[in-house]
Structure 1
Amino acid sequence: MTTAAADGTAPTLITSAQRALRLLEAVARYPQGATAKQLARDTGLALGTAYHLLRTLVHDRYLERRSGHYLTGPAVAALAREDGPSAGRARLESLLGTLAEELSAAVYFTWYRDGEVELVGAAEAPGAPLVDRHLFRAGAHAHAAGKTLLALMTAEERRSHLARYPMVPFTPYTLRDPAHLPLLPRQGPRLATPISQFQEYAVGTAGAAVPIVAGTGFGAVSVSLPMAQAHRLAGIAARLRTRLGDDFAAVAFGI
């Protein structure tokens, strides 16, 4: 369904672009996604026109469609990039360094990409060194960031990961039973309680993580501290929940 222009001709490409931008703006107002009917009503577009533009935006990755709801996609985050991957890496390092300084804790940004738990970046703080990152992927069941990503995975994704990286003990405190892993819904995970670990990945170290979801992608920002400072974790996790915006999700799509 299309609407004729004022002179009786078909709508111009500029008109279509304006409508598409209105849809993008409307979708951005619904962090948990919106249906085509909601978006058509919000933008004043005919439902058929809205469906046509939504399909195009999904095809070009500006939007993602999940369970009948439309959410902003990776191409929207990519628009914020200034100079490609190198600029994204610089922004990430700056974000992590600022957080580490503010929280006086080692900070990590982890993303679930191509079926793998990927440590994208990390920054240490005085008195809070980084943990050994060589086993970060294989030890996802033991550190707070990995446990958060496992909690956000589908059952099939989780089974696949644990088949490739069994829950071997890193310390006497490492969780070894998949049934005891925490679970989080991908809808509204920021409302969930942060996931913590105490000496499961490395003796003498504790950690906590806060999830980040962007469309169908997800990750976590986590911190680690010496066990002597473990009492600070709850306060730090609460600050992370209020401090984090969409910056990390945008960076993840850009590098």
Structure 2
Amino acid sequence: MSVPETTTLSTLERGLAVLEYICEHGPANAKRIARDLGLRQGTCYHILRTLAVSGHVARQPDGQYEPGPHAYWVARQIQKRVAVVPELSVILARLHNVTGGETSYITRWQDGAAILQHYLAGTQATNVGKLEVGFGGDLHARASSKAIIALLPGDQVEALFKGVKLAQLTSATITDYEELLVELAQIRRQGYAMDREEFAEGVQCVASGFVSPDGTPAGAYTVSVPTIRFAKLKPTLVAAVVEAAAMATRFLAGKRPVDAVTAGRHHPGQP
């Protein structure tokens, strides 16, 4: 990985890259960090000194650097923002299990963003690029966000998308507003959403949204699998995410989530 040295706020960019490197690969010394990030050694030492003063990294007696106390504080604050209610985590674990260990996600709807809160990687983990905990973008291309947005009133959907350029992430990405509205209408009818390689090539997803007691969308459960296996598994995956969403809706309404397992197939917005 090489870090550009001549970009807007390049010093900040390089500092963040060094911090991320230490968090992922540390402990590491300055020479190794500079080499792997493509930085001048003097620049790297200057960044490390700054990070050490702020408490984001800590220098060990052997000259290696590890995350410092302030880095752990930042991590705790982030974790608080994406923390999942234990009962919803149990539903996620069930979804993971009933799909045979496929990669399963829970997403939260917050302030107009579908934020990935947590996921359980499958035994045949799928590579979905930039999709990591905390990601909340590309609402038009993700099964989870489409499942959630389909539960919004029409005026809110219009406010989110009308006149907004929809990024072409793959050849299958929906980039036309009217086409997206048709897709959302279908999602509302069937109770689940699909991502047919719209977010990342080679990966397909199915998701179902769950709602708060007042009927507003609260989040979604999603499962992703490689395209080569999706067609065969689709019926099982659809049933599993719809069940998970129904369980979450019942829990948020103050009812026993397990009742949804034996109550038959539910639309995610139903109690």
What is the TM-score normalised by the length of structure 2? 0.52
- Alignment match, 2:95: 99
TM-fit CA distance, 1:85: 9.3
Contact conserved, 1:112 with 1:149, CA < 8 A, in 2? yes
Distance 2:226 2:195 in 1: 12
- Alignment match, 2:200: 202
In the alignment, residue 106 of structure 2 is paired with which amino acid?
A: F
Q: Deviation digits for residues 81-126 of structure 1, max 9, x if unmatched?
A: xxx9999544433432332132132111223222222222222110
- Alignment match, 1:127: 124
- Alignment match, 2:22: none
1:235/1:86 CA distance change after superposition, 3 Å: closer
1:137/1:127 CA distance change after superposition, 3 Å: same
Instruction: Give the fraction of aligned pairs with identical amino acids, expressed as a percent.
Output: 21
Q: Deviation digits for residues 166-201 of structure 1, max 9, x if unmatched?
A: 410111111101111223599xx6x73422121110
Which SS does the other structure have where 1:120 is aligned?
Answer: strand
Distance 2:149 2:113 in 1: 10
Where do residues 1-255 of structure 1 align in structure 2 (5 Å cutoff)? 89-103=85-99, 104-129=101-126, 131=128, 132-134=130-132, 136-162=135-161, 166-181=165-180, 182-184=183-185, 192-214=190-212, 215-218=214-217, 219-231=219-231, 232-247=233-248, 250=251
Contact conserved, 1:194 with 1:209, CA < 8 A, in 2? yes
Contact conserved, 2:211 with 2:249, CA < 8 A, in 1? no
The answer for unaligned runs of 5 or more in structure 2 is 1-79, 255-271
In the alignment, residue 206 of structure 2 is paired with which amino acid?
A: A
Contact conserved, 1:115 with 1:157, CA < 8 A, in 2? no
Contact conserved, 1:107 with 1:223, CA < 8 A, in 2? yes
Which SS does the other structure have where 2:116 is aligned?
Answer: strand
Contact conserved, 2:191 with 2:242, CA < 8 A, in 1? no
Distance 1:164 1:121 in 2: 31
Superposition RMSD in Å: 3.5
In the alignment, residue 175 of structure 1 is paired with which amino acid?
A: I
Count residues with an aligned counterpart: 167
Which SS does the other structure have where 1:241 is aligned?
Answer: helix
The answer for unaligned runs of 5 or more in structure 1 is 1-83
1:94/1:230 CA distance change after superposition, 3 Å: same
Distance 1:157 1:243 in 2: 25
Q: Deviation digits for residues 57-83 of structure 1, max 9, x if unmatched?
A: xxxxxxxxxxxxxxxxxxxxxxxxxxx
Contact conserved, 1:144 with 1:196, CA < 8 A, in 2? yes
Contact conserved, 1:116 with 1:161, CA < 8 A, in 2? no
Contact conserved, 1:112 with 1:118, CA < 8 A, in 2? yes
1:125/1:249 CA distance change after superposition, 3 Å: farther
Between the two structures, name the one with larger relative contact order (CA 8 Å, sep ≥ 6).
1
Which SS does the other structure have where 1:160 is aligned?
Answer: helix
TM-fit CA distance, 1:147: 1.4
Contact conserved, 2:105 with 2:116, CA < 8 A, in 1? yes
Distance 1:209 1:158 in 2: 18
Contact conserved, 2:204 with 2:225, CA < 8 A, in 1? yes
